[in-house]
């Protein structure tokens, strides 16, 4: 193959078929589920004034300090490609004066200048929900349930839910003090980055992937041990609700998550296919963010799902044949009839295609195979004389004759049977 003259930028991806189709399917499942849970779609810009994300992610966060695509426009305004979903949604809710409580969902591309790895890109796709104005711990449980149900609908059966509480503005200072005390006494064992985090944002040390730091953290005080009575009650109620609904979870005292705005409940979903470090989704409560944006005091909780990592967790499906019928014609005398059959198939909702350029049937069969069709409808002189078509199942190679009037029903049955056989 010749070398392409142009390549995509590092950290971006092309969704070529059939991966683009798989992406759409995941998005469809998400949309329908979100709507069943009462969320409504919101579509907002892919870039915002930089301040929006500095406010939401926090000045000292990795996102703000290292990962944002920030640029000046021609009028010297600082703009940033959105690195996360919540900041823009909160900005939009306030700017458009949406009635709170409101439940919103969104999906689309996000951008972070990180190190590209398996399932991690610089332009990546995220699916998220935000529930603004609901304070009850039962809403936390419902948000977690939503995520769990989403992954189960996609057939990801090895999904584990991790759960934690990181307290509130009342109980966190005392905890943070203990944590800084502890980490300072082990400072020499922390990586250089965590030594900085210790100064500016000690909770972030929990996000460090370095083994040396994780080793120190084993014995570190956990936020869950310092919850005030209100936070403790809230956390117990979240767990009780999940227990009642039969959702299994692991308590993980070290789950803090990398964004500044979280408080109380934090959670993430992990698939064993991706290794313990890599979550396929997660979220938490952010009861102060709307206020920080200048809005009224508003409790809120959100969940974001990484599309690429979700697709990895789903596993590569066996290359299924497409839901596609290919019409094969013998010669010019059959071309008109073939086109009529093509139109009839399409009118009945069956994706159908034919090769006009290949005049020999052998070549048309090759085209059908290359297109990934599941069957061929063959229009030949013999067939027309008998008032039948031949139908070839391309997965088994079996060929049968079908009366003209039964063609549509038979093709539909065949395509349906094949898509069931290859689904899991």
Residue of 68, 127, 145, 171 that binds Zn ion (CB under 5 A): 171
- 143 in a known ligand binding site: no
Rounded (10°) angle between helices 172-185 and 192-200: 150
Q: What angle do CA 106, 109, 112 make, to 5 degrees?
A: 120
**How do 102-111 and 78-81 pair as beta strands?**
unpaired
Residue choice 119, 137, 167, 306 for contact with Zn ion (CB under 5 A): 167
29 backbone dihedrals φ, ψ, rounded to 5°: -60, -45
> Do the strands 300-306 and 325-329 form a parallel or antiparallel pair, or are they unpaired?
unpaired
Rule CB under 5 A: say whether 256 interacts with Zn ion: no
Out of 52, 90, 231, 408, name the contact with Zn ion by CB under 5 A. 231
Facing residues of 271 across strands?
A: 159
261 is in an annotated binding site: yes
List the beta bridge partners of residue 78.
72
98 binds Zn ion (CB under 5 A): no
Within residues 179-198, the interface with Zn ion by CB under 5 A covers 191, 194
Instruction: Report which secondary-structure segment, H or E, holds 383.
Output: helix 381-386
Q: Does 210 bind Zn ion (CB under 5 A)?
A: yes
Report in angstroms how near the CB of residue 193 gets to Zn ion at its nearest: 5
- Residue 84 is assigned to a ligand binding site: yes
The sign of the dihedral angle between the CA atoms of 223, 229, 233, 234 is negative
Rounded distance, CA 137 to CA 284, Å?
Answer: 11
203 is an interface residue for Zn ion by CB under 5 A: no
CB under 5 A: which stretch of 109-117, 153-161, 181-189, 204-212 binds Zn ion?
Answer: 204-212
389 annotated to a ligand binding site: no
Q: Is 168 an interacting residue with respect to Zn ion (CB under 5 A)?
A: yes
φ, ψ dihedrals at 265, nearest 5°? -65, 125
| Candidate residues 213, 289, 304, 345; the one interacting with Zn ion per rule CB under 5 A | 213
Cα–Cα distance between 402 and 396 in angstroms, integer?
A: 17
**Near Zn ion by CB under 5 A, which window of 69-77, 124-132, 135-143, 166-174?**
166-174
Contacting residue, 170, 185, 245, 348, with Zn ion by CB under 5 A: 170
Q: Cα–Cα distance between 268 and 257 in angstroms, integer?
A: 9
For the bound state, the minimum distance from the C-beta of residue 157 to Zn ion, rounded and expressed in Å, comes to 33
Q: Which of 94, 100, 208, 237 binds Zn ion (CB under 5 A)?
A: 208
# residues contacting Zn ion (CB under 5 A): 11
Q: Binding site: what residues are annotated?
A: 84-86, 112, 126, 130, 257, 261-262
Binding site for Zn ion (CB under 5 A): 167-168, 170-171, 191, 194, 208, 210, 213, 228, 231
């Amino acid at each position: 193959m010749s070398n392409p003259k142009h390549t995509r930028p590092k950290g971006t991806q092309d969704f070529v078929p059939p991966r683009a189709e798989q992406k759409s399917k995941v998005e469809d499942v998400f949309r329908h589920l979100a709507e069943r849970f009462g969320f409504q779609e919101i579509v907002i810009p892919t870039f915002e004034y930089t301040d929006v994300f500095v406010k939401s992610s926090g000045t000292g966060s990795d996102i703000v300090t290292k990962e944002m695509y920030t640029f000046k426009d021609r009028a010297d305004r600082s703009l940033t490609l959105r690195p996360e979903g919540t900041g823009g949604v909160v900005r939009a809710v306030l700017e458009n004066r949406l009635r709170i409580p409101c439940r919103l969902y969104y999906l689309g591309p996000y951008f972070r200048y990180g190190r590209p790895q398996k399932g991690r890109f610089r332009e990546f796709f995220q699916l998220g929900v935000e529930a603004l104005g609901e304070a009850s711990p039962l809403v936390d449980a419902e948000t977690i349930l939503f995520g769990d149900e989403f992954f189960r609908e996609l057939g990801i059966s090895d999904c584990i839910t991790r759960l934690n509480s990181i307290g509130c503005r009342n109980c966190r200072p005392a905890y943070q003090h203990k944590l800084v005390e502890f980490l300072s006494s082990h400072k020499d064992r922390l990586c250089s980055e965590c030594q900085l985090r210790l100064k500016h944002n000690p909770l972030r040390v929990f996000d460090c992937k370095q083994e040396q730091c994780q080793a120190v953290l084993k014995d570190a005080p956990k936020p869950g041990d310092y919850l005030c009575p209100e936070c403790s009650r809230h956390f117990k109620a979240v767990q009780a609700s999940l227990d009642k609904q039969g959702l299994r979870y692991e308590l993980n005292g070290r789950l803090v998550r990398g964004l500044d705005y979280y408080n109380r409940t934090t959670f993430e979903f992990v698939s064993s296919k991706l290794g313990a470090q890599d979550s396929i989704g997660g979220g938490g409560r952010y009861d102060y963010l709307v206020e920080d944006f200048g809005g009224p005091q508003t409790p809120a909780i959100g969940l974001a799902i990484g599309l690429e990592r979700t697709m990895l967790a789903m596993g590569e499906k066996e290359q299924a044949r497409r839901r596609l019928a290919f019409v094969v014609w013998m010669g010019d005398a059959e071309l008109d009839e073939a086109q009529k059959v093509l139109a009839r198939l399409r009118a009945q909702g069956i994706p159908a295609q034919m090769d006009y350029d290949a005049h020999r049937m052998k070549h048309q069969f090759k085209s059908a195979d290359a297109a990934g069709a599941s069957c061929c409808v063959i229009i030949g002189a013999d067939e027309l004389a008998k008032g039948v078509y031949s139908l070839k199942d391309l997965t088994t190679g079996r060929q049968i004759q079908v009366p003209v009037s039964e063609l549509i029903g038979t093709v539909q049955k065949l395509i349906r049977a094949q898509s069931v056989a290859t689904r899991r």
